């Protein structure tokens, strides 16, 4: 992820790269929605769980990115802590799994 990019921007860019034409409009058509919705997400508007799941599926991304998106879109410090805590626990569990295999 770039310094000025958010997880949702990265996810949108990756999903749109999977479209016939790499554009927000082509992505919106693929998701059967208004191109304005994608613009809203890029400007910090909330994305629904359904649309987030579709973006993750289309982009073949690790589903854990959903936690990062939710943390970035959280509206309170408590929500940010919750999502970041879940992301940290997931990363720790993955690391323990790798260490166990070794």
Q: Alpha-carbon torsion 18, 19, 22, 28, what sign?
A: negative
Give the whole-angstrom CA distance, residue 9 versus residue 15: 10
| Interval 2-21 mean pLDDT | 86
pLDDT tens digit sequence for 12-60: 999 999 999 999 999 999 999 999 999 999 999 999 999 999 999 999 9
The pLDDT-based confidence of 66 (bands split at 50, 70, 90) is very high
To the nearest 10 degrees (0 to 180), the angle between helices 7-16 and 49-59 is 50
């Amino acid at each position: 992820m770039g310094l000025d990019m958010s997880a949702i921007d990265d996810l949108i860019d990756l999903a749109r790269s999977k479209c016939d034409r790499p554009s927000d409009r082509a992505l919106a058509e693929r998701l059967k929605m208004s191109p304005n919705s994608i613009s809203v997400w890029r400007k910090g508007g909330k994305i629904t769980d359904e649309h987030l799941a579709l973006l993750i599926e289309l982009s073949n991304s690790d589903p854990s990115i959903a936690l990062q998106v939710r943390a970035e879109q959280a509206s309170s410090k408590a929500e940010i802590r919750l999502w970041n805590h879940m992301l940290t626990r997931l990363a720790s569990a993955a690391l323990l799994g790798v260490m166990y295999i070794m």
